[in-house]
Amino acid sequence: MKTLRRPKIRDQVANQIQQYIVSEKLGPGDRLPTESKLAETFGISRMSLREATKALEFLGIVESKAGVGLTVRCIDMERLTEHLSFHAGLLEADPQQLIDSRVILETGVLPHVVQRMKKDPAIEAGLREIVRQFESARDLKTFIAIDIQFHRSLLEASGLQPLVAFGDLLHVFFQRFRESVKKAGWKEGVESHRRLIDHLAAGNLDKATAELRKHIESHKERS
Amino acid sequence: MKTLRRPKIRDQVANQIQQYIVSEKLGPGDRLPTESKLAETFGISRMSLREATKALEFLGIVESKAGVGLTVRCIDMERLTEHLSFHAGLLEADPQQLIDSRVILETGVLPHVVQRMKKDPAIEAGLREIVRQFESARDLKTFIAIDIQFHRSLLEASGLQPLVAFGDLLHVFFQRFRESVKKAGWKEGVESHRRLIDHLAAGNLDKATAELRKHIESHKERS
DNA sequence: GATGATCTTATTGTAAGATAATCCAATCAC
DNA sequence: GTGATTGGATTATCTTACAATAAGATCATC
């Protein structure tokens, strides 16, 4: 039997504030009542209310400026991944699951990428430009950064925003064992990316999928 | 030109605390110094420090209990989706993108599902049980709840934890226009789920994929 | 009258201290 | 030994106060 803790005031208040935002149909930029007013409304001290609002501010739900007050804010995906990345070090994730997830995600968007490539030549140009940057990479850190950018661009090329966000999250967890890439793998990695684009440009979906799958799964042996 | 705000103490402190956790190699369950100690260390008042710790607690990074102190906590995916769901109302997402993303995610895991189904008969039994519940659904709300559970179980059956989380996030955004499901679609929906399981159990990947794709894309017309 | 500096006011930011609630462990009674 | 009690440590919450900031009002000057 677990000792059920008394629900903390600030959590209740934080929820109440969120409900207030919804019920009043407030959107980004709209103002909330002052801290004093809110505290009085909820029947708590201003300090306790602040702990709730500060938490919401940290989550990117509201913004507070001295002399102005509280305003509703739009969500900030960057902020989210930023905090998630902190957990990456603590969290344990099965490398095989991460690899499989990436394969599904990235090979899944390829049909969309091929389709959009036909309409917009800038997509292919952008990807090829990144591959060129690979060749000038001098150290591992740069190489990894470019690799991440390439795969992100690939997802972006699909035009599916949600999957881009998911890709970012996966990369955060990937980071840890990504650094095990050997220098020997560099050249092959660059070539692999180039072949992938060639297949995509030619509309050869099957070959592109196989190439990408092989590339991602090559992380397995290195870990 | 943007007015550059003075960096707020609590944000700096929140980062300092995170750095402290990392530098001391603290893991879930480990304890942090007391509020007073930390405040003294950082040279700020206890109140400011609290605003930082409370924010971190809200994010699920630390936990504070009266009489115990601050302890490092593991990330809480539920908490995360909970807060994201709040933003769903404010955020606008392209329905077509959501549908395409779901198709990629759910059809992508099917090969894994088929493979795991062969080894563990409990998986098929679990999915069929959910389909049975569909038939006893009396109102739209229940129907939707079961539908969500079915698709979640499908992702879970793949054994790929990250994708389960991503599926949850997508469903949050889906909610809005999911309620447009017509009663006429019920029966067809139940049948579609049943056929999907049949194809999976038979190891017929192509048919299963086609069935699932059709099912998800049927949301398009209803929106 | 227009313009820029200054003052006022409202609001959040930070601080220090006090009291209550909670938990853990050591102590004590049996 | 075992269970209840107590004490110390720690957070939870409140109170009060003052500093910092920003927006608008006022006023002097040209």
> With an 8 Å Cβ cutoff, are A104 and B100 in contact?
no
| Structure-model confidence comparison of residues B25 and B20, the more confident one | B20
Chain A residues within 8 A of B65 when measuring between CB atoms: 5
The pLDDT assigned to B74 comes to 63
Q: Shortest Cα distance from A93 to chain B (angstroms)?
A: 9
Q: What are phi and psi of B188, to 5 degrees?
A: -60, -40
Taking CA atoms, A184 is separated from A136, A148, A181, A187, B15, in Å, by 16, 18, 8, 7, 37
CA distance B85 to B149: 17
The pLDDT assigned to A206 comes to 96
Strand, coil or helix: A65: strand
pLDDT tens for residues A106-121? 999 999 999 999 999 9
Output the average pLDDT for chain B: 81
Q: How far is the CA of B54 from the C1' of D9 (A)?
A: 20
According to DSSP, the residues that pair with B69 across neighbouring strands are B65
Which range scores top for mean pLDDT: B13-17, B34-38, B77-81?
B34-38
Q: Output Rg (C-alpha) for chain A, integer angstroms.
A: 23
Q: Which residue of B45, B166, B172, B205 to mutate against A (max A Cβ within 10 Å)?
A: B166
Q: How many CB atoms lie within 10 A of CB A122?
A: 10
The pLDDT assigned to A140 comes to 77
Under-70 pLDDT residues of chain A: 1-7, 74-93, 172-185, 221-223
pTM given for the model: 0.65
Nearest to A177 by CA among A102, A53, A66, A94: A94
CB contact A186 to B (< 8 Å): no
The pLDDT assigned to A74 comes to 63
> With an 8 Å Cβ cutoff, are B108 and A112 in contact?
no
